[in-house]
A = this chain, B = another copy of it.
Amino acid sequence: MDEQPAVRTVFGRTLTILGAFADAPDAGLTLTQLANRTGLPMTTVHRLVGQLEAERVLERTTGSRYRVGLRLWELGLLAPRAQGLRRLALPILEDLYEVTHQNVQLMVLDGTDAVVVERLSARDAVRLEGRTGGRLPVHATSGGVVLLAHADPEVLKAVLAEPMQRFTPATITSEPQLRAAASLARRQGWIVLRDHLTPGSVSVAAPVIDDRRGVVAAVSVVADGADGDRLVPAVRAAARAIGRALRPSPA
């Protein structure tokens, strides 16, 4: 028998088990909870978890619970689109955070989602949806609209193929609205969206441009509604600074 189909299944099941730890309590999950969350047979969960523990991808905690281990976290940090970008961008995001004291985000496009690769939030800032490592649909966030504005036409097609979820009365939910917002973001080089995902908030985003690869990320600030327009120059400057930081140094 060919090894491949079985192996691929094992990979898939392994990723299903790891994904089941999303929103798990920090104390971890028991094998029974993992079987319930994944729908996999208990024997399979038992065997795969044992192997993942042996490789330190999972850690066992008290009460025979398991949690995702530091080794997987370290391997994940090798993702250049998240961590490489984050490392270069962080000092610039911190400067932007210090002058705004609001929510500063760095996002990249993955499929039809905007993935938050970094977020710095003041404790008294507007409360945000999602979390670092979380995903937001591109139509619902200024960073997503900026990423969409510069993405392959295929991405717009894929976004339009699905219904756009409404979060507030101001959320973009139609094709003409989305095309207009993307077009505006492309033309002026930034976008301001009001009350879009959270009532009373304003979200300002600008693209991070890599010389060789085009737009690779978006910087956004989410703030109180009153603050939108005056944040535009700071967000644009930060996005440009990150683009410059991406250039290979002449050394």
A: which residues have CB within 8 A of B?
A: 3-4, 6-8, 10-12, 14-15, 18-19, 21-22, 24, 26, 28, 47, 51-52, 54-55, 57, 59, 67-84, 87, 90-91, 94, 97-98, 108, 110, 115, 117, 120-123, 131-133
Contact partner of A7 among B22, B51, B72, B94, CB < 8 A? B51
9 interchain pairs, CB-CB under 8 A = A8-B51, A11-B52, A22-B78, A68-B79, A69-B81, A72-B79, A73-B82, A91-B121, A94-B97
**Could you tell me the distance in whole angstroms from the C-beta of A190 to the nearest C-beta in chain B?**
24
Contact partner of A15 among B75, B76, B83, CB < 8 A? B75
**Could you tell me the distance in whole angstroms from the C-beta of A13 to the nearest C-beta in chain B?**
10
Contact partner of A70 among B26, B28, B98, B110, CB < 8 A? B110
Main DSSP-derived SS at the A contact region: helix
In addition to A11-B55, A70-B79, 17 A-B residue pairs with Cβ atoms within 8 Å of each other are A3-B6, A7-B7, A8-B51, A11-B14, A15-B57, A18-B78, A19-B75, A22-B78, A26-B80, A59-B81, A68-B78, A69-B81, A70-B115, A76-B76, A87-B132, A91-B122, A94-B120
Q: Which residue of B lies closest to A3 (CB)?
A: B6
Query: Are B87 and A83 neighbours in the complex by a CB distance under 8 Å?
Result: no
Whole-angstrom CA separation of A177 from B109 in the bound complex: 50
